[in-house]
Structure 1
């Protein structure tokens, strides 16, 4: 509950808005409750990062349908119902460039996503899944960022457009039937 509220605060107010009191308010808890579980701001950041990682790992499932359909649906989910978590993730990404103690924790989720992506691409026939993972993650991150914070936020892509984009990327990697 506190981790979820911290993610909401970060997405809505940025890292500067993340305070124990703001999380108490967002979670509907009495003042001081958050500081009982996370005594310092650093502990609160760690709690929020750990919650994001747990939510991500619970959400990743084996692809249903084609790989392009799975990827398009995943990106669409990230820019619609997952918008709050993605905005918080970008805040964490930027903050981790300035705070090395957050970098390792932030990278846990990214490295796991890359590992799983490489496995899926290998199963789809990629001869170089690690190299292809870098390209695919770049498309995923770029598509999500543009739809949430870039110029693309004015007219975010539909799921069908995202599936078509995923098909193009996969075809470019030599995986036309993925």
Structure 2
């Protein structure tokens, strides 16, 4: 019951962040968004830092649920495109809230630690993908790919590209081109069939 209530509050906090920004995120606003009695949010998150942590932790939980399992021979390009497309469409609210957190984390050391800890998991997954693709510099290539993804998301949601965000097909082609550009394009064929 407690976990369910915390999840509801986390979802509501994410919505408030996306719609009203960091200034609009108050305990009262989350109570209203969650359609719960006044004081419900402060019962589970007494301070503003606790409320921010609750929302950020909930975002990470939702992201983990939506991350697809890698099944051979699924290409990294297709997985990347799928993640980006979902973040721009069905996950738009969460992505906008994530931008609010990113900016706030530059001013709050406690939030920075939480934000970086959660983000490190995604960077580790991307680095593992680069290793699997045979990258001679997986750390650098993971950083490059992450930066490209962040750029696409920002442009598609808050930049000039928001008027006409990319389609899934366009994202797949672009992902393939970026990976090919760093000599890491993975073909949808088993390893034993690839040219040596």
What TM-score, normalized to structure 2? 0.87
CA distance in 2, matches of 1:89, 1:166: 22
Identify the residue that residue 106 of structure 2 maps to in structure 1.
Answer: 97
Aligned counterparts of 1:105 and 1:131: Cα–Cα separation in 2: 23
What are the superposed Cα offsets for residues 115-159 of structure 1, whole Å, 9 maximum, x if unpaired?
A: 010111111221211110000001111001100000000110011
Find the aligned partners of 1:173 and 1:167 in 2 and give their Cα distance.
10
Q: Indicate if the aligned counterparts of 1:76 and 1:159 stay in contact, CA closer than 8 A.
A: yes
Q: Is the Cα contact below 8 Å between 1:11 and 1:84 reproduced in 2?
A: yes
Partner of 2:38: 31
**Of 139, 146, 152, which aligns to 2:155?**
146
Structure 1, gaps ≥5 residues long: none
d(CA) in 2 for partners of 1:55, 1:141? 18
Consecutive unaligned residues in structure 2, runs of 5 or more:
1-7, 188-196
Question: Equivalent residues in 2 for 1:109-120 (5 A)?
Answer: 109-120=118-129
How far has the Cα of 1:176 moved from its partner?
A: 2.5
Q: Does 1:155 align with 2:164?
A: yes
Distance 1:144 1:20 in 2: 29
The CA RMSD over aligned residues, in Å, is 1.1
Question: How many equivalent residue pairs?
Answer: 178
Displacement of 1:50 in angstroms is: 1.1
Provide the residue aligned with 1:126 in structure 2.
Answer: 135
The reply on whether 1:46 has 2:53 as its aligned counterpart is yes
**Superimposed CA distance per residue, residues 32-62 of structure 1 (whole angstroms, 9 cap, x where no aligned partner):** 1111111111111111111112222232233
Q: Which has the larger radius of gyration?
A: 2
